[in-house]
Chain A
Amino acid sequence: MAKTTEKPLKKVCIICAKSTIEDVYATLIMANGAVMEGIEAKVFFTFFGLDAITKKYMNRIKTATVGNPGLRAPGGLPFPTILGMLPGVEAGVSAMMKSQMAKLDIPPVDEFLEMITAGGGEIYACKLGMEMFKLEKEDLWDEVKDVLTVGEFYAMCGGENTQIIFT
């Protein structure tokens, strides 16, 4: 083992506020990566990020094809925003993203969340966000541990060598 004076990370608290594939998967990959390393992980979904833990939407998240300058066509060709406006393009691009991820053994959102909770990670929903979107606890994925206020979430983020990550 490499010698270091740094203290290893013990806990990560991850906040996800957006519902695009890249935002949600960044959150899930970091949370899963943490539990796989023996690091405690608590994930807080708020605003549009709630889609990722809402039964109805969790496996239907998409990548934006409008206003996404990083999006390129296969082969690296530019992807004009005007194309992204056409019906079906967003769905097609999102399906392509998901198939690329599936090749790397990255699971759908619900299965990914199960992997995280299997490792002891905890999933929380934001109370204010739920009120805004008129969501009830029954609308959420069954293993969501609790609906919390920001203060309650912060209260869980104490302790040595803990980091809060906002994706």
Chain B
Amino acid sequence: MAQKTIAGKTIEVNDEGYMVDPSQWNREIAAEMAKEDGIELTEKHYEVLEFLRESSAKGETLTIRKVGKSGITDIKGLYQLFPGGPLKLSSKYAGIQKPASCV
């Protein structure tokens, strides 16, 4: 466990950079995290992040298929928003756990 100061706030992160406490999250933190990976967050990105946060809070197992059916974007769009990690990167920026699903 480590602490990281980002967007003027100190947050707890694990060794892969995922936030430990989703309640510490805010939009600025997400933007900074994405910027570190070279991604500029748009409103569409935030819609995905909010969807993931809500699903995660309900205890659901997240899959790209669920996001694809959420009406926010399709799976192709999800890959375009988060290149190379449609669920991994989006979960990281959403301040939730690393996804534990294989689909």
Minimum C-beta distance from B92 to chain A (A): 11
A36 touches B75 (CB 8 A): no
Could you tell me the distance between the alpha carbons of A119 and B63 in the complex, rounded to whole angstroms? Answer: 14
A164 within 8 A of B: no
B63 touches A105 (CB 8 A): yes
B103 touches A29 (CB 8 A): yes
5 new A-B contacts at CB < 8 Å, known A2-B15, A36-B64, A36-B88:
A36-B85, A38-B85, A105-B103, A107-B65, A119-B86
Which of B4-12, B27-35, B76-84 faces chain A?
Answer: B76-84
Minimum C-beta distance from A121 to chain B (A): 10
Neighbour of A29 across the interface among B76, B78, B85, B102, CB < 8 A: B102
A58 within 8 A of B: no
A144 within 8 A of B: no
B79 touches A118 (CB 8 A): yes
Minimum C-beta distance from A146 to chain B (A): 20
Minimum C-beta distance from B2 to chain A (A): 12
List of B residues within 8 angstroms of A118 by Cβ: 68, 74-76, 78-79
Interface size range of chain B in the complex = 20 to 34
A119 touches B75 (CB 8 A): yes
Known: A2-B15, A105-B61, A106-B103. A36 touches B76 (CB 8 A): no
B16 within 8 A of A: yes
Q: List 21 A-B contacts (CB under 8 A).
A: A29-B103, A32-B103, A33-B103, A35-B79, A36-B85, A36-B86, A36-B87, A37-B84, A37-B85, A38-B83, A38-B85, A104-B61, A105-B61, A105-B101, A106-B103, A107-B65, A114-B75, A115-B64, A118-B68, A118-B75, A119-B86
A1 within 8 A of B: yes
Interface size range of chain A in the complex = 10 to 19
List of A residues within 8 angstroms of B68 by Cβ: 115, 118
A84 within 8 A of B: no
B17 within 8 A of A: yes
Neighbour of A38 across the interface among B63, B64, B66, B84, CB < 8 A: B84
Contact with B along A99-113 (1 / 0, CB 8 A): 000001111000100
List of B residues within 8 angstroms of A80 by Cβ: none
Q: Please name the residue on chain B nearest to A29 by beta carbon.
A: B102
Q: Please name the residue on chain A nearest to B68 by beta carbon.
A: A115
Known: A107-B65, A118-B79. A1 touches B15 (CB 8 A): yes
